[in-house]
Structure 1
C-alpha cells in the first residue's frame, strides 16, 4: 500500500485544518503553513476534500472566507460517521480506498475510519506540515494535466449534473457539449503524461503494454513512427490528455501498435472516434490498417471497439509485421469515413483531411 501515491487527501476541519472549534469558538485561525500544504498538494495533482462534524453552511462559509473552498471536491460536512463520509468521497471519485488519505486530530475518529476502511491511510493532525515530504504525497512526475486535475474533476461534476437533468438521447446531449477531440504529435513535455496513460489505462488499452517515457522518446525519432497524444475539451473545460496512439506508417500498411484511452471518456466515444478518423486517413493514403490486440482480461471493450470498426482476423499480405506470440494482428482494408456529428476532430497536418486541419461534417 505504501507504494501507492495518494490520490485524495480528506481533511478534518476543527483543530486540524484550522485552529479552534468553529461552533464553540466562533472564530478559527488558519496557519499560513497549512495553506501552503493545501496549495502545494493541489499543484501536485492530489485532490482534496473535507470530512467534518459541523454545521455545513457555517463551515463552508468559513472555508469560503479563508479562500480555500475552491480547493475541496465533494465536501462532506454533517454529523454522521466519518467512515461513511470518507467512503462516499472515494466511491464518487471512483478511487481505490488504498489511494485515499484522512487526517484528523481525534484518535477515535481515525480509529473509526480505520476500522471500517482499513486501506485508507490515517494521519494525526500534528503530521499535517510534514505531509509534503512523504513519498505517498510525492508523485514521481507532475504533468500539466496533474496541475489541472482538480479543475477537470469539478468540471466533470457540473457536466454530470447537467446530463442528469437532460431528458433527450445521449447523442443529443453530446452535441450540446461542443466537444473537440485533438490528435497531435506528442511533444517532449507530453511524454510523461503519455507514459502515464499507457500504465493507468486498462479497459480501453488494446495490448496492456506499458511504455516508459524513455521508450516513447526513442520512438519519436524512429522512421515512420508516430506517437500521438489525444486530448478532449468541451464547453465545461478541458479533459486533458485522454488517449495515446502508437503508429508505424509503412508504404502499404499502417501498423497500430497501441491505442489506449482513459476510461473516463468512454461515454464520449473517444476510442471509436479515433478509430474512425484513423480509418479515414488510411483510406485516403491508400494503405491498410493493422492493429495489435492482446487480451488482458480487462480490455474486452477495446476488442469490441476494433470489431465494431471493421477489423477482422482475415489474412492479408500486409500482416507480415513484427509482433510477439501473445499479440493478435487485426486487419482492416479501410474505406473513407464520414466525420462524426457529435464532435469536431482536430488533427496534425500530416494526417489532415482538410486544409484547416479540422475533420468535421460539411453541415457542422
Structure 2
C-alpha cells in the first residue's frame, strides 16, 4: 500500500467517544495528539461525518483541534459523495488516503466510490504512529497543512462566486516566477521529480540518493545543447505555494516537465509550456491535465516571495528587447522571456541552408530591397520569406542586445549581376564555389531532396561566386553600417570569449571581432557585457573540448543577469522620465 498523505476521520465513535446528536461525547486525548503528530509529518487530516456542521465545529474548537482539519464534510448525507468532495478538493489520489470509520457500511461505500482508497475501523488508530504508511516526512512548521488551508480558502471563494472558473482564476491574482539556481533548491526539486505523478508529464525519475540524483541531472543537462533548466514558484492572493514546478529542456525537447498537484486547475502548466516556447513533451503515463489552452490570467514576476522587487517587472514587462545572435542567446532566451517582450533573431534552418543573424545581411538590406535585389531573391527559393526582417531595420525594439559569435561561420558569396555580397552557409558547401558541386552530388550528400530544384541550383551556380570566409574588412564596414542604424538607441554588445577553448582559429577570429566592435561600441555609447569576466577556464565551457563558443549554464545565467540589470535600469529610468 502507498504512503498515506491524508487521513479522513469519522467523528462519532471514531475520533471521539459517543454520538454528538444524542447529547454526549467524550474527547479522546490520544486522537487529538495524533492530529498534531500527523501534521508535523506532513500528513493532513479531514472529516467525513454525519452530523450538524455547526455543532461539530463548535465541539472541535472547544478541543482546540479544528484548525488541524481541511475540507471537512459534515452533514446528514451519504458519505460516498462527501468523500468525493474531499478527493476533488484536495487533488490527491484516493490511493494515498486513509478513511477511518466505525461503520463497515460507510467503509464499503467509500470503496464503491474509490476502489483503491485505504479504509480501516478505529482499531487502526493506536498503530498509526509506528505504521510505515504514516511516517511522512519532517514538517515541524506544518507547512503542508498551511498550504492546504490556502487551497481551502480558495475553494470557498470559488464555490461561492458567481460566474465560471475562469472568472475566479482572473480575480485570484496568480503570479509565478522562474528560477535557475538548481543546486540551491535541489532537495525540493529531487522530491518533485520522484514523487509527483498527476502533473508529471515526463516521469523521468532520479535515484533516491541525492548525490547520485545530482550526477544524473548534470548528465541530462549536458547531453543536449542548448539546454535550460529551472524551477517555478507560484503564489496568488490566497497564499504562497512555494516551488511547484521543474523543467529541463534541451534541443526543444523536455527531459523533465512536471508540477505539484497543489497548483492543479490554475493553468500554470499550460502557461509555462507556452512561455517556454512549446517544447516537445513526450507524455509518459496518465496525467490529469492537457498542455493545450490559452492562459492569460497569470503574471510573471521576479520572485513571488519578494513583493518589494516586483515593481521592476511592472516597469519592464512591456519592454521590447531584441536578442540578435546565435547559440549564446538561444541558451539565455528563457531568462529574458520571463521578464520582457522578447524579439528573437536567431539562426534559422531553411531548405538545407543555415541563415544566421549575420551583420552582412543588415548591411546588404538596402541593396536587396531595390527592384534588382528583390528580383535576385525571387529567382531561387532558398531564401526564407522573412530573410530581411529584423527589428534593427524596423526599429521595433526598445533595447537591442547583439552578439557577433556566429560571424566566424559567415561564408560570403557575391552576386555577379548585382554586385551584392550575402552570407550563405551549407555544411556540404562550406568555403567552396557553387560551381564545384553538381546537383546530383548535393542530393547524394543530403540523402534527400535538398528543397530546391536543379534549375534553381544552376541559377545559383551561375549567379553567385565564392568571395571569402569571414572577410575582416567587410565585417568592419558592415558593423559601422549597423551601428549607424542603431545610433541613439539603447544597445548592449556582447564581448566574445577569445581566451578559452580548443579552436585557436575561432579564438583568433573572436579577438579580431572584439578589436573592431569594442572601440566602436564605446564611440557610439553602447553598453558592453564581456564573456571574459565569466569564462576563466575550460570548466566554464559546455564541455572540456568545446571550441570556445558554448558555455556552462552558470556562465549564461551570469551573462543574462548582467544584461537584465542594464535593461531594468533603462526601464526604470524611462518610466520616471514619462
Shorter-chain TM-score tier: 0.5 to 0.7
Query: For 1:355, what is the secondary structure of its paired residue?
Result: helix
List runs of 5+ in structure 2 lacking aligned partners. Answer: 295-325, 342-556
Give the one of 241, 260, 263 matched to 1:262.
Answer: 260
| TM-score, length of structure 2 as denominator length | 0.45
- d(CA) in 1 for partners of 2:178, 2:164: 27
Name the residue aligned to 2:15: 17
Q: Across the two proteins, how many residue pairs are aligned to each other?
A: 313
Name the residue aligned to 1:314: none
- d(CA) in 2 for partners of 1:22, 1:36: 21
Q: Which whole-Å deviations, capped at 9, do the CAs of 1:60-80 have from their partners, x for residues lacking one? A: 110111111111112122222
With 4-13 and 98-107 compared, the bigger mean Cα shift is at: 98-107
- d(CA) in 2 for partners of 1:296, 1:221: 22
Is the CA contact 1:229–1:243 (under 8 Å) kept in the aligned structure 2? yes
Name the residue aligned to 2:131: 134
Is residue 245 of structure 2 the alignment partner of residue 243 of structure 1? yes
- d(CA) in 2 for partners of 1:104, 1:169: 34
Q: How does 1:208-357 map to 2 (within 5 A)?
A: 208-213=203-208, 214=210, 215-218=212-215, 228-246=230-248, 257-262=255-260, 264-265=262-263, 267-271=265-269, 274=272, 293-296=281-284, 298=286, 301-302=290-291, 337=337, 339=339, 351-352=560-561, 354-355=564-565
Query: For 2:54, what is the secondary structure of its paired residue?
Result: helix
- d(CA) in 1 for partners of 2:129, 2:3: 12
Query: For 1:260, what is the secondary structure of its paired residue?
Result: strand
Q: Which whole-Å deviations, capped at 9, do the CAs of 1:80-123 have from their partners, x for residues lacking one? A: 23333223322332333322211123344434444554433222
- d(CA) in 2 for partners of 1:111, 1:261: 33
Give the drift of 1:49: 0.9
With 106-115 and 43-52 compared, the bigger mean Cα shift is at: 106-115
With 63-72 and 149-158 compared, the bigger mean Cα shift is at: 149-158
Q: Which whole-Å deviations, capped at 9, do the CAs of 1:177-220 have from their partners, x for residues lacking one? A: 262425242356x4343233223445754533112353433257
| TM-score, length of structure 1 as denominator length | 0.67
Q: Which whole-Å deviations, capped at 9, do the CAs of 1:302-343 have from their partners, x for residues lacking one? A: 5889xxxxxxxxxxx98xxxxxxxxxxxx99969647479xx
Residues 66 and 194 of structure 1: CA distance in aligned 2, closer, same or farther (over 3 Å): same
Is the CA contact 2:51–2:74 (under 8 Å) kept in the aligned structure 1? yes
Name the residue aligned to 2:443: none
- d(CA) in 1 for partners of 2:253, 2:93: 35
- d(CA) in 1 for partners of 2:269, 2:92: 22
Name the residue aligned to 2:150: 155
Name the residue aligned to 1:26: 24
Is the CA contact 1:166–1:173 (under 8 Å) kept in the aligned structure 2? no
Residues 171 and 211 of structure 1: CA distance in aligned 2, closer, same or farther (over 3 Å): farther
* Structure number with bigger Rg: 2
With 105-114 and 164-173 compared, the bigger mean Cα shift is at: 164-173
Residues 193 and 167 of structure 1: CA distance in aligned 2, closer, same or farther (over 3 Å): same
Query: For 1:228, what is the secondary structure of its paired residue?
Result: strand
Name the residue aligned to 2:192: 197
Give the drift of 1:147: 4.0
- d(CA) in 2 for partners of 1:240, 1:50: 26
Give the drift of 1:267: 4.9
Is residue 177 of structure 2 the alignment partner of residue 181 of structure 1? yes
Residues 212 and 174 of structure 1: CA distance in aligned 2, closer, same or farther (over 3 Å): farther
- d(CA) in 2 for partners of 1:267, 1:217: 31
- d(CA) in 1 for partners of 2:193, 2:179: 16
- d(CA) in 2 for partners of 1:191, 1:229: 10
Give the drift of 1:46: 1.9
List runs of 5+ in structure 1 lacking aligned partners. Answer: 280-289, 306-316, 319-330, 342-347
Name the residue aligned to 1:324: none
- d(CA) in 2 for partners of 1:268, 1:42: 25
Residues 202 and 11 of structure 1: CA distance in aligned 2, closer, same or farther (over 3 Å): closer
- d(CA) in 2 for partners of 1:199, 1:48: 24
What is the RMSD of the two structures over their aligned residues, measured on CA atoms? 4.4
Name the residue aligned to 2:119: 122
- d(CA) in 2 for partners of 1:110, 1:263: 26
Give the drift of 1:125: 1.5
Q: Which whole-Å deviations, capped at 9, do the CAs of 1:8-48 have from their partners, x for residues lacking one? A: 211111222123332334352231x2222111212222221
Is residue 32 of structure 2 the alignment partner of residue 44 of structure 1? no
With 95-104 and 217-226 compared, the bigger mean Cα shift is at: 217-226
Give the drift of 1:257: 3.9
Name the residue aligned to 2:100: 103
Query: For 1:239, what is the secondary structure of its paired residue?
Result: strand
Q: Which whole-Å deviations, capped at 9, do the CAs of 1:153-193 have from their partners, x for residues lacking one? A: 221232244356275994895475262425242356x4343
Give the one of 83, 86, 92 matched to 1:86.
Answer: 83
Query: For 1:185, what is the secondary structure of its paired residue?
Result: coil
